[in-house]
Amino acid sequence: MSPANHRAWGRRRGVSLSKKVTFVCVLAVLTLAAEPLVCPASGTASRGRQKIAVIFDTDICDDIDDTWALAMLLQSPEFDVKLITTEVGNTESKARTIAKLLQTVGRTDIPIGIGVQQHKGGHRQDAWAKDYNLSSYPGKIHTDGVQAIIDTVMSSRRRIKIIAVGPLPNIAAALEREPKIAQKAEFVGMHGSIYKGYGGSAKPSPEYNVKAFVKEAQKVFAAPWDMTITPLDTCGVIVLKGDKYQKVFKHDSPLTRALIENYRAWYTQPIVAENKDLSAEEIEKRVNEKVNSSSSVLFDTVGIYLGMSTELVKMEKLKIKVTDDGFTRIDEAGKLINCATEWKDLDAFEDLLVRRLVK
């Protein structure tokens, strides 16, 4: 087309093109308005942000805080959950608990990966999922959870966050098989103890998720990916009590019912195992005294929070080395890690957690 013809064509098409451009712009605005995400700190709408692709690696059923963390994850619109993998012990049994919970809340779109198995024994939440058949899960079950982690990371067009809230045999095994995952993923973990230990102690502790599988933790902490952790300094103080807990406890939704049922099963199991002569009435009384009044320490919920925001915590970039006895020490030879070492507003986090669970 000659320049003169091009100009003439442009004049004839000008009004039509203007209408089309206006229509496309309006459509784009309406599309963004239809899909608001939520500001993690305030709970207010934040429009136009892309969801965060996440793999959640959990040792659910050992401590109940993993179940609270999973509930928070499912209730957070910031996340696009690509995979959940089970960690430590009887990982197939743990997958049943996750599958039943996901099916209960209508999230069978999420694939489940069965992680590295250490034994085929029981776990503290088995009673809740004992009648659930894993083969009945409508979604995808990966029998090799480690390979599922690798495939999910390597096939993703965008960077994935691996949120790990348990010991690290799965993640270490994935790094061993395919070291390149560290180039395509970020790591967010509930691991370590920097300045404070369990119970707010002024002395750091060898934190369980590190100490239980030290060599694996050392491998993960040395990998060349961006790392963010909540050590005991910030995650070890999360307990819901009073009105905050009662809002969750009394909220009647499929998610909160499943959450409290799992809490009850988890709290009941050791009482029954260690007190063979107790009556059913006495067992129920002991369980109700705790389960009806407050949560346990909800360490892992902070890992979920750090996957989407650091606004409510003080972050320090520290060189951290995992020692052979399971400590996470500040060491010039260590890896530079983003560490949440102190709360700016603990109440605001607890309020956020409650709002998410009951929304």
Spell out where 75-154 has E strands.
79-86, 112-113, 141-142
Cβ(226)–Cβ(188) under 8 Å?
no
Distance, in Å, from the CA atom of 161 to the CA atom of 356, rounded to the nearest integer, reads: 20
The reply to whether 28 falls in a domain is no
Query: What pTM, to 2 d.p., does this model score?
Result: 0.88
The reply to whether 30 falls in a domain is no
pLDDT for residue 47? 57
pLDDT for residue 48? 63
pLDDT for residue 138? 98
pLDDT for residue 9? 38
The reply to whether 269 falls in a domain is no
Distance, in Å, from the CA atom of 305 to the CA atom of 230, rounded to the nearest integer, reads: 10
CATH number of the domain encompassing residue 212: 3.90.245.10
The reply to whether 321 falls in a domain is yes
Domain span at residue 339? 51-238+299-346
The reply to whether 268 falls in a domain is no
Q: Helix, strand, or coil here: 15?
A: helix
> Count of residues for the chain?
359
Q: At what angle do helices 65-74 and 254-274 cross, to 10 degrees?
A: 170
Taking only the tens of pLDDT, the chain with its 359 residues reads 443 443 343 443 343 434 443 443 433 433 433 334 556 665 544 556 799 999 999 999 999 999 999 999 999 999 999 999 999 999 999 999 999 999 999 999 999 999 999 999 999 999 999 999 999 999 999 999 999 999 999 999 999 999 999 999 999 999 999 999 999 999 999 999 999 999 999 999 999 999 999 999 999 999 999 999 999 999 999 999 999 999 999 999 999 999 999 999 999 999 999 999 999 999 999 999 999 999 999 999 999 999 999 999 999 999 999 999 999 999 999 999 999 999 999 999 999 999 999 99
How many domains are contained in the chain? 1
Spell out where the chain has E strands.
37-38, 45-46, 52-58, 79-86, 112-113, 141-142, 160-164, 185-189, 227-229, 313-322, 328-330, 335-343
The reply to whether 209 falls in a domain is yes
The reply to whether 9 falls in a domain is no
The reply to whether 96 falls in a domain is yes
- Both tokens assigned to 316: 């320090």
